[in-house]
């Protein structure tokens, strides 16, 4: 009977487990068949291998040259100044980073620093360039200021007498240069005045200088005749419409045995015909000066 019970226990335990179990384990399996499974004898499954990490392939971003090219003009001018400080650039400081001279200078700088030689700067390169220039011990001068700084020492201040002499010399030189035009204008005026008087009140002098025409008519009505005419240039220079001139003309008038001196100031802008013509009494200084102001006369005479 015991033989058959042992046989039943062996049947209840898997054959695979039987090979690996001792006699005590067989006995326990006989007493508790549910605790004896075929899987107990099998080694635990190996853990699954972790998947290999995926390596992401990214393309390096293109260099940013646009930011510097489109930066404010003062920043672009500073880059040119830095290039000039480092003896790379001699062109104008105009902020044009795409000019041939500027791009050539940038390329030379990039070559010396191991950067890509493209003639354009990234923001990092621009900062490096400016920082290097700021540390440079010697600054190059702007060519436009070199002439002004050529004098080693400022001139000693002049005394009042020397300054007056220098001013008089400048005025004399300016007046001498203006004399040919001024004298020609005055001579042409006197010629027209004499022609008007000779024609007894007819001619361009009366048409252009209505004040003179009235003056002549008043003297004629009073029975006076016109004798010698003496001109003296009062002022001459550039006006907003051309050469402006004022001339003081003295007339000798006679009435019977009496001789009178009269004076008129003629003002005009040179041209053919004359423009902005006026005739004033020599005593009317304010009116003469007002005419000069209106013509924006820059005197070469006084």
Instruction: Write the pLDDT tens digit of every residue in 86-97.
Output: 999 998 999 999
Of the two residues 26 and 255, the one the predictor is more confident about is 255
Q: How confident is the model at residue 170 (pLDDT cuts 50, 70, 90)?
A: confident
What is the domain-level CATH number for residue 102? 1.10.101
Q: What is the pLDDT of residue 133?
A: 86
Task: Verify that 78 and 194 share a domain, yes or no.
Answer: no
Structural domain total, the chain = 3
Chosen domain end from 114, 139, 164: 139
Q: What is the pLDDT of residues 234-271, one digit of tens each?
A: 999 999 999 999 999 999 999 988 998 999 999 999 99
Distance CA 265, CA 234 (A): 8
Domain assignment of residue 158, yes or no:
no
Task: Verify that 292 and 186 share a domain, yes or no.
Answer: yes
DSSP classification of residue 229: E
Task: Verify that 198 and 273 share a domain, yes or no.
Answer: yes
Task: Verify that 32 and 83 share a domain, yes or no.
Answer: no
Q: What is the pLDDT of residues 56-111, one digit of tens each?
A: 556 778 999 999 999 999 999 999 999 999 999 998 999 999 999 999 999 999 99
Task: Verify that 198 and 281 share a domain, yes or no.
Answer: yes
pLDDT at 17 over 50: no
Q: How confident is the model at residue 136 (pLDDT cuts 50, 70, 90)?
A: confident
Mean pLDDT of 139-158: 56
Domain assignment of residue 287, yes or no:
yes
What is the domain-level CATH number for residue 256? 3.10.450
Contact 201/215 with Cβ under 8 angstroms?
no
User: What distance, in Å, lies between the first and last C-alpha atoms of the chain?
Assistant: 158
Chosen domain end from 90, 121, 139: 139
Burial class, 47, CB count within 10 angstroms (exposed 0-12 / middle 13-18 / buried 19+): exposed
Task: Verify that 185 and 86 share a domain, yes or no.
Answer: no
Domain assignment of residue 290, yes or no:
yes
Q: Tell me the whole-structure pTM to 2 decimals.
A: 0.48
Find residue 183's DSSP bridge partners.
Answer: none
Task: Verify that 196 and 272 share a domain, yes or no.
Answer: yes
Task: Verify that 214 and 255 share a domain, yes or no.
Answer: yes
Distance CA 131, CA 41 (A): 76
Q: Give the structural domain span for 207.
A: 174-299
Q: How confident is the model at residue 11 (pLDDT cuts 50, 70, 90)?
A: very low
Q: What is the pLDDT of residue 40?
A: 45
207-to-61, 204, 210, 215, 231 alpha-carbon distances in Å: 84, 5, 6, 13, 20
Q: How confident is the model at residue 156 (pLDDT cuts 50, 70, 90)?
A: low
Task: Verify that 185 and 267 share a domain, yes or no.
Answer: yes
Domain assignment of residue 45, yes or no:
no
Domain assignment of residue 130, yes or no:
yes
Domain assignment of residue 49, yes or no:
no
Task: Verify that 32 and 84 share a domain, yes or no.
Answer: no
Domain assignment of residue 58, yes or no:
no
Distance CA 227, CA 270 (A): 26
Where is mean pLDDT largest: 38-42, 63-67, 149-153? 63-67
Domain assignment of residue 161, yes or no:
no
Q: How confident is the model at residue 278 (pLDDT cuts 50, 70, 90)?
A: very high
Contact 251/264 with Cβ under 8 angstroms?
yes
Tokens of 278: 């006026």
Of the two residues 298 and 44, the one the predictor is more confident about is 298
Task: Verify that 205 and 274 share a domain, yes or no.
Answer: yes
Task: Verify that 113 and 209 share a domain, yes or no.
Answer: no
Chosen domain end from 139, 164, 190: 139
Q: How confident is the model at residue 134 (pLDDT cuts 50, 70, 90)?
A: confident
> Quick one: what percent of the chain has pLDDT higher than 70?
74
């Amino acid at each position: 009977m015991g033989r058959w019970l042992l046989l039943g226990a062996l049947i209840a335990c898997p054959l695979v487990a039987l090979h690996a179990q001792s006699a005590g384990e067989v006995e326990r399996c006989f007493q508790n068949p549910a605790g004896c499974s075929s899987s107990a004898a099998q080694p635990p499954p190996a853990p699954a291998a972790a998947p290999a990490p995926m390596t992401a392939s990214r393309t390096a971003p293109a260099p940013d040259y646009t930011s510097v090219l489109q930066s404010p003009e003062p920043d672009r001018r500073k880059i040119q100044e830095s290039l000039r400080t480092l003896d790379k650039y001699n062109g104008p400081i105009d902020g044009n980073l795409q000019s041939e001279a500027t791009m050539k200078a940038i390329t030379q700088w990039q070559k010396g620093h191991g950067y890509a030689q493209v003639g354009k700067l990234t923001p990092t390169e621009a900062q490096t360039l400016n920082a290097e220039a700021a540390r440079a011990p010697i600054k190059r001068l702007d060519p436009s200021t070199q002439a002004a700084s050529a004098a080693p020492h400022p001139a000693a201040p002049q005394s009042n007498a020397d300054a007056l002499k220098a001013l008089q010399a400048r005025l004399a030189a300016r007046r001498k240069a203006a004399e040919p035009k001024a004298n020609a204008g005055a001579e042409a005026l006197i010629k027209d005045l004499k022609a008007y008087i000779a024609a007894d009140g007819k001619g361009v002098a009366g048409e252009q200088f209505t004040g003179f025409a009235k003056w002549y008519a008043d003297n004629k009505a009073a029975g006076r005749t016109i004798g010698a005419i003496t001109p003296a240039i009062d002022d001459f220079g550039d006006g907003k419409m051309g050469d402006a001139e004022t001339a003081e003309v003295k007339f000798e008038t006679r009435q019977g045995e009496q001789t009178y001196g009269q004076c008129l100031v003629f003002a005009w802008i040179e041209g053919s015909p004359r423009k902005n013509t006026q005739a004033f009494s020599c005593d009317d200084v304010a009116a003469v000066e007002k005419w000069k102001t209106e013509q924006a006369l820059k005197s070469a005479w006084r």
